[in-house]
Chains A and B, each alone.
Chain A
Amino acid sequence: TQLLEQSPQFLSIQEGENLTVYCNSSSVFSSLQWYRQEPGEGPVLLVTVVTGGEVKKLKRLTFQFGDARKDSSLHITAAQPGDTGLYLCAGVVSGTYKYIFGTGTRLKVLA
């Protein structure tokens, strides 16, 4: 069974602080995606990383795919209360259309 381990599971920080969320696996993925989910809604795609070592930026969010395509990180600079939510990583199993999701990181940013 392929697993994606996310850490930390919970994170409560003050507005303006920086944070990093990690997504790790022993499996290789053809791509990795990050989603954010609000209560009562489905996850919404933030970014897809495909190439080992790839770095993508989305305003204050920086996403990185590990060189071996087994891990990824999400870094948020100067967190805002609007960043509050559940962050999920999802890996596409190589050669398939199946997605494996991490268990999620619940972030709360306090004003």
Chain B
Amino acid sequence: DAGITQSPRHKVTETGTPVTLRCHQTENHRYMYWYRQDPGHGLRLIHYSYGVKDTDKGEVSDGYSVSRSKTEDFLLTLESATSSQTSVYFCAISPTGDYSNQPQHFGDGTRLSIL
């Protein structure tokens, strides 16, 4: 399995609190992604990174920010968590290569509940 670690694996917090999720990889892959998975919606891209300090928005980026200060770590921050952000969050990585044929390897997810 690709070396991807998500932390924490589970978190319960209150509305209005800041939350940071961490994705750590040992594969030295250039591309990293944050998704959320909700029933009926599949996986939706929040933000992605194509290099250190290079990030871009996905389709559901409102309320989320990201940072990538080194290749191996990609952080997702909810500045002020809301109940609508209760979800399972997945990190994924891809190697540098042909843009038309990049496989993604996923972490095991973080289950976040916001009360």
Which chain A residues have a beta carbon within 8 Å of chain B's beta carbons?
Answer: 1, 6, 30-31, 33, 40-45, 48, 50, 88, 90, 92, 95-104
Contact = CB atoms under 8 A, between A and B. Distances in A.
Given A1-B59, A41-B109, A42-B108, A101 B102 contact: no
Contacts of B94: 97
Given A40-B108, A98-B58, A88 B43 contact: yes
Contacts of B104: 33, 43, 45, 90, 99
Contacts, number: 65
Interface string B13-39: 000000000000000000101010000
A103 B43 CA distance: 7
B102 A92 contact: yes
A97 B43 contact: no
Nearest to A49: B101
Contact of B43 (A48, A50, A101): A101
Contact of A48 (B40, B42, B50, B103): B103
Contacts of A88: 42-43
Given A40-B108, A42-B108, A97-B94, A31 B101 contact: yes
A104 B105 contact: no
B96 to A, nearest CB: 10
B109 A103 contact: no
B50 A97 contact: yes
